Structures are given as C-alpha cells and as structure tokens.
Structure 1
C-alpha cells in the first residue's frame, strides 16, 4: 500500500530506509531455523509500540504471538492469517505449538482478522467463534517473455515442459508430482523450481527421486528473468498441494495465461473455479491421469490458457485489497 494514507515513518537508530514512500526499519533477527520470525516479530513489535502508530498489522501465525504486546499497549491490531502454518509437516512439536498459540492470540486479541480463503474463514468461525474478514491477495496481468535463459541454461522451449514453481516442502506435494510424471509416456520435461525453506531433508528426498528420471530438471530458487520465462513458456503449471493458505504461485501462473492443474483442496479450487483442471489431493495416480488427459488433449490446455489471465486478474484486484484493508485500519466494516 505504498503511498496510501497509513504509510508511517518510524524513527530508529539502525538506519531505516525508504521504499516507494514506505519507511522500512530493520530490526534484530536471529538467523537460525525457527528463530527468524520469532526474533524479528518481537523486536519489530517493541519498535512499533514505541512509535505509537494508529495500527500494527501482523502477517502469519508465528508473528501473531507478539500481537498480544501491542494489544496490551492499547494499539489497534490487524492480523492476516495466510494459512494454518502449525499444520505444516516441516515443523516439529515445539514450533507447531508456538504457531498454534499465535493463531489463538490473533483470534482472541486482534481487533480484526483477515483470512485469504473461505475455507479458513469457516475454520475460525468453528474453532474460535471468531468473525473474520475475507480479503484475498491481488494479482496483475503479467507480460509474457520469450524463452532465452531457460533455453541456454536447460534446453527448454515453449510448451515442452510441465512446471512446478514454489517452495520445496512436504505439504506442496512435489513427491506426488514426480511419481505421477514418471508414469507418463511423454517427451515433455518436468521442471521443479524453488528452494527448500527449512526443509532440507525433504529437498534431498526430492533430489533423489528426480535423479531417477532424466526428464526432470531441478533449478533451485529462481527469480527475475528466469522466473518470468518459466511461467511464460510452460505447457502446464501444476500445484499438487495438500495444504495451502492462498497460493500466490497459482495466481502468478494464471496471470501469465497458464493452463493450471491443482489439487482439489478448497484453497486451490476457490481460486481457480472452473478455469483450471484439478485432481484428488494426495493421490499420485489421480494426478497421473489428469496430467495424461491434458497431454493427450492440447485443445483443453489451450482453452484454459485462453481464459486464465482475464479471469484471475478480474477476480483478484490489488486496488480492492488496498481499499478494504485501509477501511479495516479505520475500523470500518468491510467484507463478510
């Protein structure tokens, strides 16, 4: 919301900087697994309270543990819950308990709670009796780019690969995708792009599985031109997740005009409606059948491609997100 009326300048001694009208204040962070969000949210909360802002807005369950401090200080708080993070397989018992505590803190102490899916809205109602505001993420139409770097680096050309792009963590279901792809009789490649995000053991498992099929390419983390080319030239984008909040990679893929194939969890099907293909989550066999159907029927793929960008950019507008969020900051009633 750079440039909006709630952009605030927070004075600090550790060299804040400005980005598109927003004052960014660095805080102390312990760079260790599971500690980065805890430490940064604690010190950020202390600095924010000292600045006496109108609103402190927390994102994700972990940082919401510190929301209670702002609540005690009498500052209006807003919490955006991006997903039920405590359910993610990468977290151990202590981390999961901590994340669940952040969720409860948001439900009980935040002046407003924002959720990104109807399924999560229902969860908060049933679990906590808490009203929430449904304000999904936004997306803008992306400009397609030709295959250049992906051709020179990996030999990839337009429409000759299936793409997964996201964090390589258990709940994303990459292992289902590798299993399903291995059964396909196709010359197309499978590109798996993304980093491990605190799940090095799972990433190693994925690497070992991928090594069994020469058609599979692991790129690691990608950004910039490489990321744009991967989205722009894929035959199909696949998101086989068991668990999601609101998958931004899916919105990105559709904004590039991709044919998307997702698991049938509510957080994905709510986004794509009838503008993408789906399969029964948790089933590599169902994913294989869905992939094979799309490979054998390119006209279906083209139909989804033709509809994707107009649909997703019309449904999810950043202007609407900003307007609704600012209204919540002011205490105005928005959403459902």
Structure 2
C-alpha cells in the first residue's frame, strides 16, 4: 500500500509557466534584450518551464510561427512609436497575463518595468531584469527620462525579485533603491566557425582586413567616433564595417549614413543575422565598441566568442568584461582610439590566440548556467520545485540576491 507521501513523490511536477514581456520580437530581432531572450528561453524550456514570449506586432518576423524551439510566441498589437510602443505593449501584455495567469510574469528592462505596479495589483508574481539605465541614453527628452526612471523605481521596489546583468547595475540598484538583486549576466553561445564568406563578397570585403562594429544606429553607440578614428588611422587596404540599423530612423542615423557615404572604405551593411552575420564576425580582424552606455554588451561577448581582438571604451560595463588594459581607450578620445586601431592592425592573427579568447568567454558566460540560475529565481518566487532534466541537474547554483 502506498502512503500519501509516496503518491506525492511519484506524481510528475507541473511545468512552471513563465510569460515574458518587454522585448520587440523573437527570434532574429535586433537588440540586446531581444538577443538575451532569444538565447535564454529555449534553455528555460529544457529546464522544465512552459515559456510564452509576448512580441510586438510591428517587429515580430512574419515567417516565425506561434512556436519556436519549444517557446510559445504570442504577438500583441503595439503602435510603431518610439515613445509609446513599449508602454502600450507592456500594458496589453500585463492584461493578457492577468487573463492567462502564468506562475511568473518576467518583465524585461526598466522601461516596460513601469507596468510592475498594475501587474502586482492584478495578482501576478513579477520578476524584472534590469538591462541598464536607459534614461542615461542620448536622445530621450525630459519626460521620457522621467518615465524610464519611474519604471526603474517600480520595477526594483515592487517586483518580487530583481535580476541585474552586471555588477555596475547591481551597485546602482543598491545605491538608488537600497535593495539587493540577483546578478545573472548575459551569456554567449560559442559558435561553430563558418567556412564560407558570401557576405564578404557581397560587401566587397577581404578577410582579416576590416574593423567590425555591430550595434543599433543610436547615439550612445558613438559610430561617428569610430569613423573619425578609422580615418585618422589611415589603414591602407582596410575597411570599417558598421552592422546594424535603427528601429526609428532619425537625425542621428541620417548623419551617420551621410558621414559614411563621404568616407572612403566605410561600409554600412544594415541589420544582419544568421549566416551573414556569422561570416562578418568570423572573418573580421578586430571588433570595436566605442559606446557611452551599455548594460553588459552582448555584441562584445559575441565578438570574443569568434576569437576577435576587441577595442572598447572604458565605461564601467565594458570594463566589467575584464579584458587587459590595452583593449580599452578613454570614452570619446578619438585620438587614442585611432592609436589602438593602428596597434591592433599590426598584430599578426594567430589561430591559437583566437581559440584562447573563445575558451575564455566560454568559461565565463555560459547560457546554460544563466538559464539554471534564472530558473532558481523563478522557483523561489513561485514557491515551487522545478522538473529540471537530469542533463542539467549538475549546473552550478545561483549566487543569490545578496
């Protein structure tokens, strides 16, 4: 005869239902938050979560169906407006979550985090990931900055649990909101190196003879600094490749395009994904990131995952990656950036050096570990155990919120 304890023990654990909101679309949509969710969610499914991602109608790829790698995708309407789309979409997402009643509503980023209050009032258990203080970005007006700061306030003080992607953000939250958070960084999947080079032919590039920057065309990425530094460096036979576009083309994007058109050997590819992007990373000589604001730069981690030497501005988020001093330059100092480009162009490219960088980033930013730690946060908030499969049972535990 079985006891009640035996029956409880044999009964399969119910999958934890998680709903995510706060991103534009998934998969293959430009943006750091979008890349974060794209890598994380399939692994959450593997770890025993039932994951639904709410996407915006104006960004979600039309060729992606209602399910992708086990992740359910639900598209909700949102206006195509820089100031309104995240606010409106997240509000509609909170209402949708109130109707569907997931165990966890995971809000990505502090702008959408302004909807933490209505989500809690509607009875949802909320986890928020702080990807960076967006109110510091150039291009936001006074009211928009206020709304973003209000979003941070609600997200950090009202959610049941807060995840931050870097120590810089963790200290900011401690200082401003007197509260601890779970440090779970962005991760990286170390890719198979492509053997093809079709994208290089399309853009007139030679392998090992170009500098690469991948990122949205927004002021905080400081493309103009890099273009000017590349011009000053005068690297004969080299090109500068700018990969990315803007969700809301404006004056900054037009200015960058105009400068690039006047600058010999500067190539703008627009937004790239899939094999083309992999080829551009794999065959570059170096990667440069002159940005003024980052959370934890996924593009920089991606460059390292291809074994590229990286040159980055010395902002705290970039320094947190932990590269040697020669890989950094003072933010906005075009002269020093130009010197770095020249110096790095003279270093012979060795396969052993590339493999060493790939191993270095693999050991520090593993998505499987990140997914397991995120699941532990969910379980703590929901008061549940997770049906984690045996293949992931040995992953390291979360560092906690202290």
**TM-score bin, normalised by smaller chain:** over 0.9
Change beyond 3 A, Cα 1:153–1:255: same
Task: Provide the residue aligned with 1:82 in structure 2.
Answer: 131
Report Cα offsets for 1:235-273 as digits up to 9, x if no partner: 011111110011111111111111111111121121243
Report Cα offsets for 1:20-72 as digits up to 9, x if no partner: 22222222211222222111111111110122221111001111111111212
Provide the secondary structure at the position in 2 that maps to 1:68: helix
The structure, 1 or 2, with the larger RCO (C-alpha pairs under 8 Å, 6+ apart) is: 2
Of 175, 189, 206, which aligns to 2:256?
A: 206
Change beyond 3 A, Cα 1:271–1:199: farther
Mean Cα deviation higher: 274-283 or 31-40: 274-283
Report Cα offsets for 1:88-117 as digits up to 9, x if no partner: 112222222211111011111011111111
Change beyond 3 A, Cα 1:177–1:235: same
Task: Provide the residue aligned with 1:23 in structure 2.
Answer: 72
Mapped to 1, the partners of 2:78 and 2:194 lie a distance apart of: 37
Of 109, 116, 136, which aligns to 2:185?
A: 136
Mean Cα deviation higher: 301-310 or 265-274: 301-310
Shift of 1:334: 4.0
Provide the secondary structure at the position in 1 that maps to 2:344: helix
CA contact (8 A) 1:147 1:156 kept: no
RMSD: 2.2
Task: Provide the residue aligned with 2:161 in structure 1.
Answer: 112
Mean Cα deviation higher: 145-154 or 81-90: 145-154
Mean Cα deviation higher: 244-253 or 16-25: 16-25
Report Cα offsets for 1:147-191 as digits up to 9, x if no partner: 532332122121011111111111111111011111112121101
Change beyond 3 A, Cα 1:178–1:302: farther
Mapped to 2, the partners of 1:154 and 1:9 lie a distance apart of: 38
Task: Provide the residue aligned with 2:45 in structure 1.
Answer: 2
CA contact (8 A) 1:159 1:234 kept: yes
Mean Cα deviation higher: 226-235 or 195-204: 195-204
Change beyond 3 A, Cα 1:196–1:23: closer
Mapped to 2, the partners of 1:147 and 1:90 lie a distance apart of: 39
Mapped to 2, the partners of 1:265 and 1:302 lie a distance apart of: 29
Of 214, 226, 247, which aligns to 1:165?
A: 214
Provide the secondary structure at the position in 1 that maps to 2:75: coil
Task: Provide the residue aligned with 2:267 in structure 1.
Answer: 217
Provide the secondary structure at the position in 1 that maps to 2:45: coil
Q: Gaps spanning 5+ residues in structure 2: where?
A: 1-43, 58-64, 382-397
Of 282, 306, 320, which aligns to 2:369?
A: 320
Mapped to 2, the partners of 1:276 and 1:314 lie a distance apart of: 22
Q: Give the TM-score normalised by structure 1.
A: 0.92
CA contact (8 A) 1:275 1:307 kept: no
Q: Give the TM-score normalised by structure 2.
A: 0.78
Tell me the matched-pair count. 331
CA contact (8 A) 2:200 2:280 kept: no
